[in-house]
Amino acid sequence: MNIQRTPQPMDILLYSAESLVDVLVRMGTLSSFDHVAIALSDTEMIEALPGGVVVSPIRQNPVICRYDIQDTSKIPQYVETIKQYVGYQYGFIADAFAAIGMNYEAPHQIECAQLAIHAITMMGFTAPKIPTPQHIFNSALDNGAVAFRPS
């Protein structure tokens, strides 16, 4: 796989920030990461935040997980499909239910790891059953993705 060391569309972006909330999220999910987003381009990402799902500029220093998408002609379609989540409300309760093995579907609600799971599944890869950033990362490696920091 040719590795461009900048974010590319449909890369999974994992973050570890240092605010108290971020540290608590990492502790509560036993994760090295507290947030996950999906690159839409080399400058924009889609992410689920407490205010809802938005398109934002890519922040510095993510860990990038790049899947080996065989049919790259489908990437623009994947990007357009994942952008349909913009405007959804943040739905942390679904994440809490999933962590204890229960399925909870709330229409038009999603949290960051669930958004990544939708992207991973859409691309044809196996997504983790537990929606946490660490499980997203582990699953990416299990699916043959390459993980790196941008240059």
Determine, yes or no, domain membership for 113: yes
Which of 68, 66, 80 has its CA nearest to residue 147?
Answer: 66
Determine, yes or no, domain membership for 2: no
Determine, yes or no, domain membership for 3: no
Q: Which domain holds residue 52?
A: 12-148
Determine, yes or no, domain membership for 139: yes
Tell me, what CATH number does 129's domain have?
3.90.1720.10
Please give the pLDDT value at position 51. Answer: 86
pLDDT tens for each residue of the chain, 151 residues long: 456 788 999 999 999 876 666 667 666 666 778 889 999 999 999 999 888 899 999 998 899 999 999 999 999 999 999 999 999 888 766 556 655 666 666 667 788 888 999 999 999 999 988 788 888 999 999 999 999 987 6
Determine, yes or no, domain membership for 6: no
Determine, yes or no, domain membership for 7: no
**Looking at the 3D structure of the chain, how many domains does it have?**
1
Please give the pLDDT value at position 109. Answer: 75
Contacts of 62 (CB under 8 A, 6+ apart): 7, 13, 14, 15, 37, 149, 150
Determine, yes or no, domain membership for 4: no
Determine, yes or no, domain membership for 36: yes
Global pTM reads 0.84
